[in-house]
């Protein structure tokens, strides 16, 4: 029963992530340029919440680590879109506080955390580090997105975002294959096509407006 629930949460999280990129892709095709729609960031928050729970249930540090930084960047983008200020104060407190509480739980009993995640008998250390590297690269795409957006004072999805996405996604797919993790494999495979297409759309738009 535990495994069924765990995978259900994981697939639901990936459904949110897949939906965000599909919405973004469709809207970009219609606009004939790469766009950063509000729905992309709303679905990102839901997906991050659920994937964090999935990683915790699966004792997978790489999955958990990948959600931490990007989570607050999602919130920053929602603020740029004018959505954040419309939320109820309680909702803001919950959204902002959940990751901090999780960090607090980790550092409250750090030895047990290390033993659980870094000494996983079913997963060698080098594979944990490999998976973590993929998640770090995948997270850096949002750091890059935030940096470029902050310079323009608007939420955008620049070309470099998609290049970093392709690299990180490739590593995570390899990690998922090693772990026989259908959630990671399916979720990243769907995005791989959309990332490539966004690069094409962005390049065409630049050439037309050069």
For position 76, what pLDDT does the model report? Answer: 94
pTM, full prediction: 0.80
Q: Do residues 33 and 205 lie in contact, with contact meaning Cβ atoms separated by under 8 Å?
A: yes
Alpha-carbon distance of 144 to 161, in angstroms, equals: 7
Q: Residue 50's closest CA among 104, 97, 98, 2? A: 98
Q: Residue 163's closest CA among 134, 141, 145, 188? A: 141
128-167: per-residue pLDDT in tens? Answer: 778 778 878 888 899 999 999 999 999 999 999 999 999 9
Lookup: tokens for 130: 């490999």
Domain positions in the chain are 2-208
Over residues 74-85, mean pLDDT: 93
Distance (Å) of CA 5 to CA 59, 64, 84, 176: 14, 18, 31, 19
Alpha-carbon distance of 84 to 135, in angstroms, equals: 26
Over residues 178-191, mean pLDDT: 77
88-111: per-residue pLDDT in tens? Answer: 999 899 888 877 776 666 566 556
């Amino acid at each position: 029963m535990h495994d069924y629930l765990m995978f259900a949460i994981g697939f639901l999280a990936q459904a949110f992530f897949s939906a965000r990129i599909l919405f973004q892709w469709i809207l970009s095709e219609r606009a004939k340029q790469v766009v950063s729609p509000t729905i992309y960031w709303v679905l990102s928050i839901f997906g991050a919440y659920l994937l964090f729970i999935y990683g915790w249930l699966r004792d997978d540090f790489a999955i958990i680590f990948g959600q931490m930084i990007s989570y607050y960047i999602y919130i920053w983008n929602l603020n740029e879109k004018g959505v954040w200020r419309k939320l109820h104060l309680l909702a803001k407190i919950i959204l902002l506080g959940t990751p901090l509480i999780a960090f607090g739980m980790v550092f409250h009993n750090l030895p047990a955390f290390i033993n659980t995640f870094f000494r996983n008998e079913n997963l060698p250390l080098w594979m944990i580090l490999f998976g973590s590297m993929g998640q770090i690269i995948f997270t850096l795409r949002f750091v890059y997105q935030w940096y470029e957006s902050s310079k323009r004072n608007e939420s955008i999805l620049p070309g470099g975002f998609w290049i970093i996405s392709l690299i990180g996604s490739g590593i995570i797919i390899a990690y998922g294959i090693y772990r026989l993790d259908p959630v990671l494999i399916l979720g990243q495979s769907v995005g791989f096509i959309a990332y490539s297409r966004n690069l094409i759309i962005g390049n065409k738009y630049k050439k037309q407006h050069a």
